[in-house]
Structure 1
Amino acid sequence: MNKVRHVLGISGGKDSAALAIYLKDKYPTLDIDFYTCDTKCELTETEQLVERLRSYLGKIITLQAAKDSPEPTPFDHILKINGGFLPSVQQRWCTQKMKLAEFEKYVGNDMAISYVGIRGDEDRDGYVSTKPNIQSIFPFRRNIWSLDVINKVLGNASIDKFNDCYRSVADDDVYEQAQKFIIAPLTKDFFYSKKLNALLDVDIKTFNHAVFAFLKEYTDYPVGKLDSFPLLDNEDVLCKEDILRVLEESGVGVPAYYNLIDFEVDGKIGQYCRSRSGCYFCFFQQKIEWIWLYEQHPDLFQKAMEYEKDGYTWIQGEPLEKLIRPERVRQIKLDHIKKTEDLKAKSKSKLLIDIFEDDEINCANCFI
């Protein structure tokens, strides 16, 4: 078998932690390198989760940008190089420099399969490396393949090739059901997702084996360099409840920053928590999460304030010193209570963390 590395990044969040546990337990023969990118800017709760996971997995490799820098953290080192220009939604240099660059340096030119913890109830593709030697796989989803693979396999130019691959792995009944979808060209009415879902509806395992045959025969993707791949027969789809169950049953537990904390404002009771892993100053935080940081980790909030200089702020148009004025804190909490009540009325889930996630903008690359 060709040497292909299996790698999985631990962000300190629930999904990547659950994926590491799931793969270790279900596929013990996979020799997976678990790694984490230490930014030195994580919450204590995140660090505790990583350490519990390290005990469960046996080993987690720690990567760190600017390790030899005299600056106190990799962030400070890169911030200085950038002239004090803070990262933002438009300029996410923090993720690129502190995590993705270190990960790709760690892999080098080796063929590698990167396992990503995007859940079955999420409609996003997550991190896909631009390096051809790194291939992303999504074990929690019904479709384990990344968008670039699906586009290549199901594209009109590949119809005959994929038809041959599918026929070679399918039994007669399954092939008869799938053939009409395989040979149907993509149109504005029959696009990639429709064709993909039609084939998955026929038989997930057969589709996976056909994709595997295609990758081996016609591409240089890392998975295609394997003699076999156990996830081809995986039909599990894991959603939020499954993730929490995996964490609790393993004993690793849910990151403590998800624990709900009550607050009172104008006689009303609300609850807040943090909805994400990542650095304590993450600019993707909602304003109520900044208030959570201010009240639960005042020392870290103070550090975040000290980074705001020369007009650069974490929140566009609102420096943190204004965010924590008593009347502003009161209004943010009241707004959060109202929004939570409105979303609870609309949401199928009553978990506050679900409501946070349904409403957030995420940096998918940061939480792998």
Structure 2
Amino acid sequence: MKSKVRHVLGISGGKDSAALAIYMFENYPELPIEYYTCDTGKELEATYQLIKNLEIYFGKSLTLLEAAAKSHEDPFDHFLQLYGGYLPSSASRWCTRKLKLEPFEKWVGNDPVVSYVGIRGDEDREGYISKKPNIQSIFPFRKNIWSEDVVSKLLKNDHIRKVANWYQQTDTQHLERILEIVEEPLSSKFVQTEKLNALLNLDTPAFNQVAFAFLKTTNYPLSAEANFPLVDNDDVLKKDDIYDILKRSGVGVPQYYEEITFEVNGKKGTYARSRSGCYFCFFQQKIEWVWLYEQHPDKFRMAMEYEKDGYTWMQDERLEDLIQPERMDQIKEEQIRRIERAKNNTKSPYLVDKLNDEVEGCISCFL
């Protein structure tokens, strides 16, 4: 019988969501996952190439969600006009809301939906959680696949007896110790994160079984499922695993992650793009704007054309000022210093992994 629950996975053009799509396709073929992407009309060609490579890998097209589909303009330009030329910023992320979230929520409607999110096991963030009660997020790359709201409800002190009973129905080899942890109430000396990690470290699949049993008593989308194969999942995937999946599958790592060498004042450094998303994204670092200017000058010129009527992509600097030779040299020299500071922090060949002071961006765009 066909499941009443829809399983969906959004692909932004970034490495993590692409790797998650491949991982789920290979490991959970029994799940009827719908793969989709939201097109802003302002992506780099490498993003569109990644989508094509995934479609070849899957043997089918991804569902394309496009805001303002009936407009004669690209989605971004359509909404920019509606906002009177006001460019999006970290203080007003109308681009993410209008071009990504609203088309997604319109597409799923009121159906019960399980949404798979590619946050890695070496990241400490929750990601986008829909405010709609019919959408439930799952994080397959993490040891804890459940969202914060599910965990906080499950581990409430009021549920101690129920959680203990559910654990007794599992086949865990650590029941005695687990029950000791379960029966210790949350307090200022024993917070939720400690309790969660202690239970996960002892037996992740057993915790997942208990969480799934709890969900069956709720109105979450998974309450309608007879079983859920990720209950047995104890994988934890990190950066290197993501690159391995993309390379092994033949889909490949998006080209903009590959670092390029530059020289300034007799010193050599490297730069690359650290994220997917629109080529003019305001979350870009200044070295990424320099990268765009030197590697995709046509895109940079197009980004410059949006800066008018006092609106700029960066609060403190216009693009025409950033590309002055002396200013670009300053940015490149600072990039060299940053890489030098970070070079011992990771052995990854990708520049994005060497820079540990990245600005956090919109999760819906950059995974």
Aligned-partner residue type, residue 66 of structure 2:
Q
Q: Does 1:189 align with 2:206?
A: no
Aligned residues: 365
Aligned counterparts of 2:99 and 2:350: Cα–Cα separation in 1: 32
Q: C-alpha separation between the residues in 1 aligned to 2:357 and 2:171? A: 39
Task: In structure 2, give the amino acid aligned to 1:267.
Answer: G
- TM (normalized to structure 1)? 0.96
Mapped to 1, the partners of 2:22 and 2:284 lie a distance apart of 27
Q: Which residue pairs with 1:296 in the alignment?
A: 295
Where structure 2 has 5 or more consecutive residues not aligned to the other structure, the ranges are none
Structure 1 alignment gaps of length 5 or more? none
Give 2:64's match in structure 1, choosing from 56, 62, 66: 62
Deviation readout 1:175-194 (Å, 9 max, x if unpaired):
21211111211111211110
8 Å Cα contact 2:18/2:246 also seen in 1: yes
- Please state how far the C-alpha of 1:346 moved relative to its aligned partner: 4.5
RMSD of aligned Cα (Å): 1.4
Q: CA deviation at 1:367?
A: 2.6
Match of 1:263 in 2: 262
Match of 1:91 in 2: 92
The structural deviation recorded for 1:352 is: 2.0
Rate the CA distance shift 1:13–1:220 in 2: closer, same or farther, 3 A: same
Moved over 3 A (4+): 345-351
Give, in whole Å, the separation in 2 of the partners of 1:314 and 1:323.
11
In structure 2, C-alpha distance between the alignment counterparts of 1:273 and 1:30, rounded to whole Å: 36
Q: Which moved more, 1:218-227 or 1:339-348?
A: 339-348
Matches within 5 A, 1:239-318: 239-318=238-317
TM-score by length of 2: 0.96
Matches within 5 A, 1:69-80: 69-70=71-72, 72-80=73-81
Q: What is the CA distance between 1:363 and its match in structure 2?
A: 1.8
Distance in 2 between residues matched to 1:253 and 1:344, nearest whole Å: 25
CA offsets, 1:88-134, max 9 Å, x none? 11111100110011111111000110000000111111111111110
**Corresponding residue SS for 2:269:** strand
Match of 1:24 in 2: 25
Q: Distance in 1 between matches of 2:159 and 2:362?
A: 33
Tell me the equivalent position of 1:231.
230
In structure 1, distance between residues paired with 2:144 and 2:337: 37
Does the Cα contact within 8 Å between 1:275 and 1:356 map onto a contact in 2? no
Q: After superposition, where does 1:203-218 map in structure 2 within 5 Å?
A: 203-216=203-216, 218=217
1:335, distance to aligned residue in structure 2 (A): 0.8
Identify the range of structure 1 (159-168 vs 296-305) with the bigger mean alpha-carbon deviation.
159-168
Contact 1:344 1:350 in 2 (8 A): no
Higher mean C-alpha deviation, range 53-62 or range 4-13? 53-62
Contact 2:10–2:35 (8 Å) recurs in 1: yes
* Alpha-carbon shift at residue 165 of structure 1 (Å): 2.0
Instruction: Describe the SS at the equivalent of 1:271.
Output: strand
Larger proportion of helix: 1
Q: Residue 161 of structure 1: CA displacement?
A: 2.3
For residue 295 of structure 1, report the CA deviation from its aligned partner.
0.7
Q: Retained in 1: the 8 A contact 2:53–2:251?
A: yes
Match of 1:134 in 2: 135
Distance 1:357 1:17, change over 3 A: farther
Task: Determine helix, strand or coil for the equivalent of 2:355.
Answer: helix
Of 308-317 and 110-119, the range deviating more from structure 2: 308-317
Amino acid at match of 1:286: Q
Contact 2:264 2:329 in 1 (8 A): yes
Deviation at 1:356, TM superposition (A): 3.3
Q: Does 310-319 or 144-153 show the bigger shift?
A: 310-319
2:338 corresponds in structure 1 to 339
Q: 1:347 to 1:358 in 2, by over 3 A?
A: farther
SS of 1:209 mapped into structure 2: helix
What per-residue deviation string (whole Å, max 9, x for no partner) do you get for residues 192-251 of structure 1? 1101001011100100001000110x2111112110111000111100000000000000
Q: What SS does the aligned partner of 2:174 have?
A: helix
C-alpha distance in 1 between matches for 2:97 and 2:261: 35
Percent identity over the alignment is 58
Which region of structure 1 is more displaced relative to structure 2, 344-353 or 51-60? 344-353
For residues 163-178 of structure 1, the aligned pairs below 5 Å read 163-171=164-172, 173-178=173-178
Give distance in 1, aligned partners of 2:291 and 2:149. Answer: 39
Tell me how far apart the structure 2 counterparts of residues 359 and 367 of structure 1 sit (CA, whole Å).
Answer: 12
